[in-house]
Amino acid sequence: MQPLLDSIDSPADLRQLEEKALQSLAGELRQFLIEVISGTGGHLAPGLGTVELAIALHYVFDTPNDRLVWDIGHQAYPHKILTGRRQKMHTIRQAGGLSGFLKRAESEYDTFGAGHSSTSISAALGMAIAAQLNHAPRQVVAIIGDGALTAGQAMEALYNAGDLDANLLVILNDNEMSISRNVGAMSNYLARILSGRAYTTVREGSKTVLGTAPPVQAFARRWEEHLKGMVMPSTLFEELGFNYIGPIDGHDIHTLVSTLRNMKAMEGPRFLHIATQKGKGFKPAEGEPVAFHGVGPFNPDTGKVEKKSGKRTYTQVFGDWMCDMAAADERLIGITPAMRDGSGLVRFSEEHPDRYFDVGIAEQHALTFAGGTACDGLKPVVAIYSTFLQRAYDQLIHDISVQNLDVTFAIDRAGIVGADGPTHQGAFDLSFLRCIPGMTVLAPADEAECRDMLYTAFLHPGPAAVRYPRGSGPGVAETSKMTRIPIGKAQLCREGQEVALLAFGTMLAPAMEAGDSLDATVVNMRSVKPLDTAMIEQLADSHTLLVTIEENAMRGGAGAGVAESLAQGDRSIPLLILGLPDEHIEHGDPDIVLAQCGLNADGIISAVRRRQPGQVAASRHSA
């Protein structure tokens, strides 16, 4: 007998099935997802928790005419499988393959692209308003995880949606164990009643029928609130203007289908609260949902993950430094926007729980909160990804820079990140940090230098950032001792002829290799802001071509800073700026991507030779 999943090439195929077949389909879909991700790696636990939900949504709603807006994309792997991409799932997060997130260019079913959290309700509200103004008879559904509701943008969208009385359904995918007691036969039964057409008619009709009898209307309203209060965690969403239903069992596919059908027939802002289990159906992921949130290739039978490289990562360097620095200075506190594990703060959170603050997916709050602690004598360290810092740019300027507050930023995932692709490439932090007055920006070339730069930034009395990449470095071991590096002082690493390579951060290693082939001078610039202007002027006076190399966008980055320095110093010398191109860079192996961008040794050598520095020198001296 042919597996049901093999017959599903689109949601239209799914809608041809009898409802009683959906549970079997869910089992096949869950097993397929485990098998695929065991080979490729990727986000597993979130998708395992949304198998039934994805099936029910595409079964009840007329997609793609009806809009499904999934938050982030971690939870949307089952959605991808059901929408014609099953045969390509083995390419996910690989160069030229499927994106690990939602992407409008990839499928008409991906109605809104997203790699960062908490955008779904805002986007879905916009689509609901567009449908209203265009007189388009379509449903709009936003699916958001419970963690994503900690972000201010999600709450802002909820406030606006209730006020606009938009025809919008928001589904909260809640996988917190604390609400398990609210899930069961009685809860599901009441949810079906509360979402049913008869109840809705009575509820709406009572506003008119009982309108002339205030005491009776008030009694009916109190009865309804009392009934809901027995099974609901909060009346918050109703206060915001939503018709709140739930929580219901997100793995009971028949309850999901029944409830979604009833809520589809309703109008206005609706809120469905479902309870799911992250990692559902795969015991290793159920037991360790954090570890299997984003996982490398693993054994699908045992869940054992393939061993990674034994080299230390920059994230580990940071995590160990935090613990050492906290032991040396009791003023240090650690702040992260819901990235304890990813930012390397697990050990710190265990050793210093009273000095560790996870503020949720709330980057804006994280920075202003850090600023507040700095005002009263603490020394906050904000551990944040490069692309997540983008979300708090106003706070970085308005709350930190303007007041010159002593906040240290440990910026992880700077530069090319690999499989996560354009939404997560740390391509812009040097550009958007360099223009902020009073900001100090450091870029380490190796692990030992990263530790020393973190120490230097922490001691600096003002806002300072250390940006470092994902993964491991060249393997330079740190020592227990921490050394303060002079800010704004570059390091001459190799003396050569004609060409000077000015390397920022991770680009020192390929620059050294290229320098040997070109007999070029190589400098580890170390500090992006302030720049070592004396070194730049010295190199300009003694060489015929300066080349800046950075793992950041060329527009407005470190190379642009060198160009500004040369202009201000009235130095006229050819300058070649090498960096990431002016485009959004797709996912792929970091080494391959960097090579494609010309940011490996061969790329640097080729770019320099194309500029023909010997001829440049001849024309310069003759002038």
User: Are the C-beta atoms of 467 and 586 separated by less than 8 Å?
Assistant: no
CA distance 510 to 473: 12
CA distance 385 to 465: 12
Neighbours of 462 (CB within 10 A): 17
What is the distance between the terminal CA atoms of the chain, rounded to a whole angstrom?
A: 82
CA distance 484 to 555: 30
CA distance 362 to 165: 26
3-state secondary structure of 169: strand
> Which is nearest to 492 in space by CA: 507, 506, 503, 484?
503
Single-letter code of the amino acid located at 343: S
CA distance 444 to 61: 51
CA distance 431 to 9: 44
> Which is nearest to 466 in space by CA: 318, 575, 323, 612?
318
3-state secondary structure of 274: strand
Specify the pairing of strand 379-385 against strand 408-412.
parallel
- Triad 602, 607, 613: Cα angle to 5°: 120
Catalytic residues: 278, 363, 391
What lies within 8 Å, CB to CB, of 168 at 6+ separation is 121, 124, 125, 128, 140, 141, 142, 161, 269, 270
> Which is nearest to 83 in space by CA: 57, 115, 46?
57
CA distance 557 to 567: 16
Specify the pairing of strand 464-467 against strand 408-412.
parallel
> Which is nearest to 359 in space by CA: 329, 375, 383?
383
User: Are the C-beta atoms of 73 and 124 separated by less than 8 Å?
Assistant: no
String of DSSP letters for 499-510: EEEEE-GGGHHH
| Burial profile 592-620: b = 16 or more Cβ within 10 angstroms, e = fewer | ebbebbbbbbebbbebbeebebeebbeee
CA distance 385 to 457: 17
What lies within 8 Å, CB to CB, of 77 at 6+ separation is 33, 37, 42, 43, 44, 46, 47, 89, 92
